[in-house]
């Protein structure tokens, strides 16, 4: 029971680590579907900025400058790259594999407690039946 709770807590805490900043392939479809709170924009002139509450309308990206009340409206043609937090399947796979190994090791270790002791190796040799 306790092990199940530990594994559940590890999965919940680790799931946040499974999301990384990744390039958005099609911002016109991704932003309305995923509704990210924040995207990282790299402009053609290589300047960068976080855009909060992004939305795409027509051929432009709209939002606000992260941490400031200034509105942002930029034509998509002026944007080199848009990145957003997205599920990282590689990290997720490693997390699941690690949790599986940890759970299996714990079950194995618990099963080995006291197993394999003989009277010759026992601390209580005098109580062993002969």
Residues 72 and 62 in one domain: yes
**pLDDT per position as a tens digit, 24-77:** 999 999 999 999 999 999 999 999 999 999 999 999 999 998 888 889 999 999
Indicate the pTM of the whole model.
0.58
**pLDDT per position as a tens digit, 62-113:** 999 888 888 999 999 999 999 998 877 666 666 677 777 777 777 777 777 6
Residues 76 and 93 in one domain: no
Residues 7 and 30 in one domain: no
Residues 59 and 43 in one domain: yes
Number of domains in the chain: 2
Percent of the chain as helix, strand, coil, to the nearest 5:
40, 30, 25
Residues 80 and 95 in one domain: no
Range of the domain at 31: 25-85
Residues 32, 119: Cα–Cα separation, whole Å: 69
């Amino acid at each position: 029971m306790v092990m199940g709770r530990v594994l559940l807590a590890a999965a919940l805490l680790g799931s946040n680590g499974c999301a990384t900043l990744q390039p958005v392939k099609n911002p016109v479809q991704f932003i309305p579907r995923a509704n990210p709170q924040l995207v990282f924009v790299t402009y053609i002139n290589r300047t960068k900025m976080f855009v909060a509450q992004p939305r795409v309308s027509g051929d432009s990206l709209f939002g606000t400058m992260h941490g400031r009340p200034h509105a942002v409206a930029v034509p998509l043609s002026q944007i080199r790259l848009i990145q957003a937090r997205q599920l990282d399947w590689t990290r997720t796979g490693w997390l699941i594999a690690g949790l599986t190994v940890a759970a299996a090791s714990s079950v194995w270790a618990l099963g080995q407690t006291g197993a394999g002791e003989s009277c010759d190796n026992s601390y209580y040799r005098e109580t062993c039946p002969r």
